[in-house]
Amino acid sequence: MLFGTKETFAIEAMSEPDLNPPSAVWGRMQIWCKGIFIGDFSDPYCSLYASYLNFKDLDKKFSQLWKIEFAGLSDVELLKLLDHLLYGYHNDVEIKDNRSVEECQRD
């Protein structure tokens, strides 16, 4: 079953046909974003239940995942900022970093 459109955003999922209740949900899932997929829909028994546990409270976690410093940045600018904060590089060029270890761990 496909929820959404592969060209924008979709989740493709199915449960395995040989499940016998009461069992955990097992099946296949693939996530689509702008025509690019994550996951392998040909892989049986990839545990949709584990994915459900990861995604079910995602809306409550958004405020923790987004920082006000990201507001107004383009995708490219955001990736450059994250490369700097997380890896200390822009492309192959090392960026001087005067942050403390605690600041780096926070970032």
Which residues, including other chains, have CB under 8 Å from residue 85's CB and lie 6 or more apart? Answer: 107
Share of the chain above pLDDT 90, in %: 7
pLDDT tens digits, 9-46: 998 888 777 777 766 666 788 888 888 887 777 777 66
pTM above 0.75, yes or no: no
Which residues, including other chains, have CB under 8 Å from residue 98's CB and lie 6 or more apart? Answer: none
pLDDT the model gives residue 62 = 64
User: What's the alpha-carbon Rg for the chain, to the nearest Å?
Assistant: 19
pLDDT the model gives residue 7 = 92
* Residue extents of the structural domains in the chain: 1-63, 67-100
Which residues, including other chains, have CB under 8 Å from residue 64's CB and lie 6 or more apart? Answer: none
Q: Does residue 89 surpass a pLDDT of 80?
A: no
Measured at the alpha carbon of residue 67, what is the angle toward residues 34 and 80, in degrees to the nearest 5? 60
